[in-house]
Structure 1
Amino acid sequence: MKKNYLLFILLIFSGGCYSILPSKGGGQIDTNTSTRPIVASDIALPTGYTIEAVATGLTFPTGVAFDEQGQVYVVEAGYSYGEEFLEPRLLRVEQNRNLSTIATGQKNGPWTGVTFLNGNFYVAEGGQINGGKLLRISKSGDIAALIDNLPSLGDHHTNGPVPGPDGNLYFGLGTATNSGVVGPDNYNFGWLKRHPEFHDIPCQDITLTGQNYSSDIPLENKPGQQQTGAYSPYGSTTTQGQVIKGKIPCSGAVLRVTPEGKSMELVAWGFRNPFGLAFSPGGVLYVSDNGFDVRGSRPVWGTGDYLWQVQQGQWYGWPDYSGGLAFNGDRFGPPSKKAPQPLLAQHPNKPPKPAAVLGVHSSSNGLDFSRSSSFGYQGEAFIAQFGDMAPDVGKVLAPVGYKVVRVNVETGVVTDFVANKGKKTAPASKLKSGGLERPVSVKFSPDGQSLYIVDFGVIEMTEDGPAPKHKTGVIWKVTKTEAKP
């Protein structure tokens, strides 16, 4: 009895300490400069590998691709959290490391990824202003929208695309909200002011429990306290047993289309933000999924990011599960706050377990597989961890992410591969060094000999939200120089 009482007191004390301790995220820095030192020797790698910067001075880069000659191309997003809107660009990295503009898009970013297939580039346009798109860009710079009006006007975007072994293009659609309910955090993101009727869309018919949440947001058409239910516009209530009709395209899903943008099909759903997509050497699709944040009307605490092996037709748990675990108790309740309750009265299926669990708030994003024994770790997934956006996503007591990890998808074991030198893993701006800042994606060269890391650049987390710094993005290249010991 005494032992249990002491444990109870310890748990209360631990929760209380957490709630009063300050957040110490990697972006909580004080920088008044937009310049960034680039020092490759400040980065730690396994023995036998080297790293170099092959392109610098980029603004919000998010992906790299290679044409049939192995020439390197990079996309600049044209948008960053913090409501920073620019024109997205597709750039060629020349042999002298200068950058040549191939195509310039509209202010409807972010461009979140790029792939090269059959002589054309395919780019996912996030869709913050006019909805998501899948673009085809010729090598001469002509842009055509294969798909438009995708439902990605909210927190998360249209992601990918990647070519599949079946010849189709696979891409992801993130959710509009953190956890299924439109609330004050979405107003702070900016999109709720532009699109007050936008909300999450299920991929098939769902039945709700009727949970509603109260909030007060200064929208002109809906002033004062409002009640809002799941999968509904802000200020719209739901009832127990209410059915929300599903449709395609939908939120939190992976879909596929032909390279001509035809025959859209649902692959799987129940993701929160399926950012990174890649096929293993064996042709199996894997997706990196950003976990819940501690924000909004329905905050969720302590959930990691996940790597999923994707199975056709499966539902992966959002908004009522995390990593295969149900919201059926206090497990995911923020300290001193109510735990999230289920939004769905019935679930499409019991979600599978993830292939790997990644760091809480690590923002584990773009991924690729090693296919070369000469590079090493053949068959393992390499994942770029953008790093926490604390305190906006929730409190962290030390920086999380800001590195590249490798994952044995058979065992789920996660190992650091590239990170900054120092006593703690953190962005270079916080360490006052010249190493990695925010890795957002990775891509192996066509010959498999080198790993390219897309480093988004510096983002300072201020009292007013994210403050991204222009011309601080970098493309790094990792090469193996000697046999693995």
Structure 2
Amino acid sequence: MTLPTVAASPEALQQLPTPARPRLDPADVLLPAGYRAEVVLAGLSMPCGMGVDDEGTVYVLEGGSTWPTRPHLPGRILRLRPDGTLDALGEEPLGGPRHIALRDGSAYVSAKGGHQSRIVRYDLADGRGTTIVDGLPDGGWHEPGGPVFGPDGLMYFGQGSVSQNGVVLPQGYVVDLARHQRVHDVPGVDVTLTGNDVVTHDPTAPYPFYATTGAFKPFGVPAEPGEVVRGRLKCSSGIWRAHPDGSGMELLAWGVRNPYGMVFAEDGELYVTDNDYEENGDRAIANDPDRVWRIDAARTPHGQVGTPAWYGFPDLCGDGLPVWHESHRPSRGRPAEQLIADPLPEWAGPAVWLEEPHSALCGLDVSRSDAFGMRGLLFVAEWGTLAPMNSPRAEDLDHGFRVVAVDPTTGSAEPFMTNRHPGPASAHRSGGIERPVDVTAAPDGSLYVLDFGVSTVDPSKHLSYGHTGVLWRVVRDGSGEAS
């Protein structure tokens, strides 16, 4: 294990052996008065999620080569104990560990590797893992969310859509088609299709062949007007709950495009982050805000949710407007048409909070500490834009790359942890934050911020660099006023 811990000197952090991220400096991180940041771990590879137990042990998930990287990097569950010792609880053989929940001597880990997502329960004593939920449609761009445990003792979790914008298309070829050629989205209820299929080039065949693809279909399979697609319990873009052993699985909601972050607030409300559509390709959608949803069905007693709530994917944006509305008409790519025939399912919005498009909201947590302050606010990690790959707009280039504090009762938000200049630290050769991916409020009253590391973007791809991820810790030090 070569990861330096908090014992690394400030001098060592100024000369890291990673050319993509050669230094770290908490002085380059801006926080409200009365707070300061420190580096806990450096050298992580594609970290995606974390958890902290009651004794202060921090668990960090490294995503591994499902982000694809070369050479191969394993998906690992790392454990940093309060005395500074670091070891690996286990590895995910299929890769892609994303989130962790700690409960009753077990670690519940969601994992993306393969064409179906799953939840694995690890025994913290011996590291043995048992799959308790599997078969969630994946193989595409988007992520599992959770698990988190609610005040009812049940396990809540989610899974994003397979496609980027509602139809499996060539811009997702590397992920959607090359590995799993038959993957597609699955609705949570029965839906009738319009037959507004998308005709595009076929990257699996010699030029100039074309393919016609419908909603909820594999690439190259058209849909017929009036065709009914049956909903399934294990759909894509879904939010579920189950007993801790995976039994009693119940679908609460669907149509959540990418529910990466999930948290229960102290009042029992379940909040979920979600990401906007892409402004590119053959079903392009512009100016769709990122958002935080409140999942009202989480308050319904277990087993009593009838029709799951619908949050808009693939036909509504985060503001509740249809994807074909003039305000969402793209400047690049082919405008989107309606996929689900009228009447659309009843929309479960509005969102608790809307953020700028392409901010890439990821993990979130709530402050439960008077000592830390800002009690009841949601701290949301913004991974940062993938523009110009997913948006041609110059104003989207600096969106994200920070942590914001959101008041879910008012829908207002303020920056909490940022760099001195917009964008990732590497863009300005500073030692600040790069791409925040998760936040966790620790029992000791501190806030951990997990930084994915360097991931560069150009119009055709993004490239992530191993050993550039960082675990930060934010503490309230009393040096100034804090609310």
- TM-score normalised over the length of structure 2: 0.89
One-letter identity of the residue aligned with 2:382: Q
**By how many angstroms is 1:82 displaced?**
4.3
Give the corresponding residue for 1:278. Answer: 263
- 1:51 and 2:37 correspond: yes
- Verify the 8 A CA contact 1:173 1:252 in the aligned structure 2: yes
Bigger mean CA deviation after superposition, 75-84 or 169-178: 75-84
Q: Which moved more, 1:402-411 or 1:342-351?
A: 342-351
Classify the secondary structure of the residue corresponding to 2:172: helix
After superposition, the C-alpha distances for 1:269-311 in whole angstroms (9 at most, x for unaligned) are: 1110011000111010000001111123211111111001112
2:136/2:236 contact within 8 Å kept: no
- Deviation per CA, 1:76-131, whole angstroms, max 9, x where unpaired? 1113544665321111114464531111111x33211111011111111013x242
CA-to-aligned-CA distance 1:120-169 (integer Å, 9 cap, x gap): 11111013x24211011111211111122221111112221111111111
Q: Map 1:47-196 to 2 at 5 A.
A: 47-82=33-68, 86-95=73-82, 97-106=84-93, 108-127=94-113, 129-139=114-124, 140-187=126-173, 189-196=174-181
Q: Does 1:440 align with 2:437?
A: yes
- 2:345 matched residue in structure 1: 348
Q: Distance in 1 between matches of 2:311 and 2:374?
A: 28
**CA distance change for structure 1 residues 170 and 137 in 2, over 3 Å: closer, same or farther?**
same
Partner of 1:403: 402
CA drift of 1:317 comes to 0.8
Match of 2:468 in 1: 472
Identity %: 35
Is the Cα contact below 8 Å between 2:56 and 2:82 reproduced in 1? no
Does 2:241 match 1:256? yes
Aligned-residue offset at 1:70: 2.0
Paired residue type of 2:177: L
C-alpha contact 1:81 1:466 (8 A) present in aligned 2: no
Contact 1:151–1:249 (8 Å) recurs in 2: yes
Q: Distance in 2 between matches of 1:234 and 1:247?
A: 20
Across the two proteins, how many residue pairs are aligned to each other?
448
Partner in structure 2 of residue 386 of structure 1:
383
Secondary structure of 1:322's aligned partner: coil
- 2:4 aligned residue: none
Give 1:315-394 correspondences, 5 Å limit.
315-323=310-318, 324-335=320-331, 338-345=334-341, 346-394=343-391
- Cα deviation code 1:52-82 (max 9, x no counterpart): 0111111011122123422112111113544
Please, which runs of 5 or more residues in structure 1 have no aligned partner? 1-31
Match of 2:301 in 1: none
Give SS of 2:23's match. Answer: coil
Runs of 4+ in 1 over 4 A off after TM superposition: 82-85, 95-98, 220-223
Q: Give the AA of the match of 1:461.
A: V
Q: Give CA-to-partner distance per residue, 1:15-55, whole Å, 9 cap, x none.
A: xxxxxxxxxxxxxxxxx934431100000000000100111
* 8 Å Cα contact 1:455/1:475 also seen in 2: yes
CA distance in 2, matches of 1:355, 1:414: 11
Q: Deviations over 1:190-219 (max 9, x none)?
A: 331121111000011000111011111221
Cα distance, 1:325 vs. partner?
A: 1.7
- Residues of 2 paired with 1:351 and 1:224: CA distance? 40
Moved more, 148-157 or 84-93: 84-93
Structure 2 regions of 5+ residues with no counterpart? 1-17, 298-307
* Superposition deviation, residue 413 in structure 1: 0.6
Q: Is the 8 A contact 1:34 1:471 kept in 2?
A: no
- Pair 1:294 & 2:279 matched: yes
| Cα deviation digits, residues 321-364 of structure 1 (max 9, x gap) | 11222235322111265532211113121342100001210001
Contact 1:330 1:339 in 2 (8 A): no
| 92-101 or 283-292: bigger deviation | 92-101
Quick one: distance in 1 between partners of 2:400 and 2:133?
A: 33
> Is residue 147–residue 261 contact of structure 1 (8 Å, CA) maintained in 2?
yes
CA contact (8 A) 2:115 2:183 kept: no
Given that residues 124 and 132 in structure 1 are in contact (C-alpha distance below 8 angstroms), is that contact kept between their aligned partners in structure 2? yes
Pair 320,115 (structure 1): closer, same or farther in 2 beyond 3 Å: same
Q: Give the match's secondary structure for 2:471.
A: strand
CA spacing shift, 1:40–1:68, aligned 2, 3 Å: same
Aligned-partner Cα distance in 2 for 1:79–1:453:
22
8 Å CA contact retained: 1:213, 1:297: yes
Distance in 2 (CA, whole Å) between partners of 1:417 and 1:396 is 25
Taking the aligned partners of 1:354 and 1:56, their CA distance within structure 2 comes to: 35
**Matching residue of 2:415:** 416
Q: What SS class does the counterpart of residue 356 from structure 2 fall into? A: strand
- Paired letter, 2:30: A
Which secondary structure state, in structure 2, belongs to the residue aligned with residue 259 of structure 1?
Answer: coil
**Which amino acid in the other structure matches residue 132 of structure 1?**
S
Other structure's SS at 2:432 match: coil
Question: 1:29: which partner in 2?
Answer: none
1:457 maps to 2:453? yes
Q: Cα distance, 1:471 vs. partner?
A: 0.6
Pairwise CA distance, 1:462: 4.2
Match of 1:237 in 2: 222
